[in-house]
Amino acid sequence: MSCRFNFSAGPAMLPEPVLKRIQEELTDWRQTGMSVMELPHRGEHFKFIAMDAELRLRRLLKIPDSFSVLFLQGGASMQFSMVPMNLMRHGTADYVDTGIWSQKAIAEANRFGRVAIAASTKENGYDRVPRQQDFLLNPDVDFVHYTPNETIQGVEFASIPDVGHVPLVADMSSTILSQPLDVSRFGLIYAGAQKNIGPAGLTLVILAPQTLEQSREDLSPMLSYRIQAKQESMYNTPPTFAWYVAGLVFEWLEESGGLSGMAEKNLRKSEALYQVIDQSSLYMNPVQMDSRSKMNVVFTLSEPRLEGAFLEAAEREGLCNLKGHRSVGGFRASLYNAMPEKGVDALCSFMREFERTA
Ligand X SMILES: *Cc1c(COP(=O)(O)O)cnc(C)c1O
Question: Where in the sequence numbering do the catalytic residues fall?
Answer: 101, 171, 195
Q: Which is nearer to ligand X, 75 or 238 (CB)?
A: 75
For residue 275, give every residue at least 6 positions away whose Cβ sits within 8 Å of its Cβ, in sequence order, or none.
Answer: 348
321: left (phi over 0), alpha (psi -120 to 50) or beta: left
Q: Which is nearer to ligand X, 159 or 281 (CB)?
A: 159
Q: Which is nearer to ligand X, 76 or 301 (CB)?
A: 76
d(C-alpha 120, C-alpha 147), whole Å: 12
Residue 173 C-beta: closest distance to ligand X, Å: 4
Residue 171 C-beta: closest distance to ligand X, Å: 5
Q: Which is nearer to ligand X, 76 or 246 (CB)?
A: 76
Residue 320 C-beta: closest distance to ligand X, Å: 18
Residue 334 C-beta: closest distance to ligand X, Å: 10
Residue 127 C-beta: closest distance to ligand X, Å: 17
Residue 76 C-beta: closest distance to ligand X, Å: 3
Question: Treating both helix axes as pointing N-terminal to C-terminal, what angle do 258-278 and 44-61 enclose, rounded to 10 degrees?
Answer: 60
Q: Which is nearer to ligand X, 190 or 310 (CB)?
A: 190
d(C-alpha 127, C-alpha 288), whole Å: 6
Residue 10 C-beta: closest distance to ligand X, Å: 5
Q: Which is nearer to ligand X, 337 or 350 (CB)?
A: 337
Label each residue of the chain as H, E or C: CCCCEECCCCCCCCCHHHHHHHHHHCCCCCCCCCCHHHCCCCCHHHHHHHHHHHHHHHHHHCCCCCCEEEEECCHHHHHHHHHHHHHCCCCEEEEEECCHHHHHHHHHHCCCCEEEEEEECHHHCCCCCCCHHHCCCCCCCCCEEECCEECCCCEECCCCCCCCCCCEEEECCCCCCCCCCCHHHCCEEEEECCCCCCCCCCEEEEECHHHHHCCCCCCCHHHCHHHHHHCCCCCCCCCHHHHHHHHHHHHHHHHCCHHHHHHHHHHHHHHHHHHHHHCCCCEECCCCHHHECCCEEEEEECCHHHHHHHHHHHHHCCEECCECCCCCCCEEEECCCCCCHHHHHHHHHHHHHHHHHC
Q: Which is nearer to ligand X, 75 or 167 (CB)?
A: 75
Binding site for ligand X (CB under 6 A): 10, 75-77, 101, 147, 151, 171, 173-174, 192, 195
